[in-house]
Amino acid sequence: MTAILKVDTIQDTSGNNIINESSDTITIGASGDTTNIVGTLQNNGSAVATTNGITMADQWRLTANLTMNTSSVTTISANLERNDNQFEKIGTGMTESSGIFTFPETGIYLILLQASIEGSSTSTFASVHLQRTLNNSSYSYLGETVQQNAISNGYNAAFGQAMMDVTDTTNQKVKLTQDAAAAITLRGSTNDNRTSITFIRLGDTWWMNKII
């Protein structure tokens, strides 16, 4: 036997609304209440993430000066550390090995680049590139910072950014590379961010959102 309860409002013993329906809108609880969901909250059969805000943010930097390569584009593979000055990563954070950064989970990431360059005696250009791989093998350019006509014997700053939809953490990775037209210095420090890369996970991957 099937029983149907038809009401618009359910209240507790003190007369406070617990569940209210009006014009096809269902309100659970009231302002100031704590709603505890036991089990899995779903939206049309699919689980709904219950964590709000940024779930992963991490920042790495170059810890020592690097003479930039003038003959080819070269991976920045040494003297990299996670920012350890008044900073604590959110979530698991990135993994770095020989300059290759691995993402901790799928999602859409905002990647921010900062490069500090010390010019040589000749005005020239210098570039720091963000490269990505989709197969854990071959790399292509995703973004870069470029300092054109770097000031002779002076300091220069360059910035870049990119967004990446990571759907496969095993095969999709990124790295920083550098090259210049003269043997000028890419500045690094273990005490502050001179050349750095920041990763912020903005949300679920495009494929998980199933936007068609």
Q: Residues 25-69: pLDDT tens digits?
A: 888 887 777 777 777 777 777 776 655 678 999 999 999 999 998
Distances, alpha carbon 159 to alpha carbons 77, 113, 117, 196, in Å? 20, 6, 11, 10
pLDDT at 93 over 60: yes
Task: Tell me the C-alpha distance between 40 and 125, whole Å.
Answer: 54
Residue 117 identity (one-letter amino acid): I
In this predicted model, what pLDDT tens digit does every residue of 109-165 receive, in sequence order? 999 999 998 876 565 788 899 999 999 999 999 987 776 655 566 788 889 999 999
- Domains in the chain and their CATH numbers? 9-47 (no CATH), 57-209 (2.60.120.40)
- At residue 172 the predicted structure's pLDDT band, cuts being 50, 70 and 90, is very high
Rounded to an integer, what distance in angstroms lies between the CA atom of residue 80 and that of residue 88?
16
